[in-house]
């Protein structure tokens, strides 16, 4: 959008601004590619990248109560440094990521097992089934039971259905 506006303007700094906008776009694309690689290749990168190790740790421990302090410690970072790096590289906070991963796993379990909503909630270390239902509905737009009953196997990886 910025590039189109610049191209159609008569601004005297048009050339300089278009170069800067192009550089900004390239940086954004590179960050997106790095983010996608980090999220997809966590197992292979976990030995050499602290954030990949943290993501891998979160994914392998969804059945436990995971705190940001704990994950930061595993990544050998202070909580504030970890939070800042994680948000910059992944695009969401560590707490949001932990919750999204648990909901992604819950969607899979709801579709592939006969476990009840309560069993799934407790297997993913939610404090209560009502807490789980509240988070699930906020992120997916429907309750876990409705999701299970719909029989929709669409988009098990994403959050919104």
Select from 60, 39, 63 the least CA-distant residue to 51. 39
Give pLDDT tens digits along the chain (161 positions).
Answer: 666 665 667 767 667 766 776 666 666 555 666 556 656 666 555 555 888 889 999 999 999 999 999 999 999 999 999 999 999 888 899 999 999 999 999 999 999 999 999 999 999 999 999 999 999 999 999 999 999 988 654 444 455 54
Helix (H, G, I), strand (E, B) or coil at 112: helix
**The whole model's pTM is what?**
0.69
Q: Which residues of 94-115 are buried (b: 16+ CB within 10 A; e: fewer)?
A: beebbbbbbbbbbbebbeeeee
With tokens 């979160």, the residue in question is 58
């Amino acid at each position: 959008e910025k590039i189109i506006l610049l191209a159609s303007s008569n601004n005297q700094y048009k050339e300089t601004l278009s170069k800067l906008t192009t550089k900004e776009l390239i940086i954004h694309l590179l960050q997106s590619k790095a983010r996608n690689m980090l999220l997809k290749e966590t197992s292979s990168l976990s030995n050499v990248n602290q954030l990949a190790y943290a993501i891998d740790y979160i994914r392998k421990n969804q059945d436990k109560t995971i705190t940001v302090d704990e994950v930061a410690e595993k990544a050998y970072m202070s909580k504030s440094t970890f939070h800042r790096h994680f948000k910059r590289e992944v695009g969401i906070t560590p707490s949001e990521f932990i919750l999204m991963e648990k909901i992604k796993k819950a969607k899979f379990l709801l579709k592939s097992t006969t476990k009840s909503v309560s069993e799934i909630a407790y297997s993913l270390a939610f404090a209560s089934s009502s807490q789980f239902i509240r988070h699930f509905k906020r992120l997916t737009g429907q309750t876990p039971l409705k999701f299970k009953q719909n029989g929709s196997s669409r988009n098990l990886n994403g959050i919104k259905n």
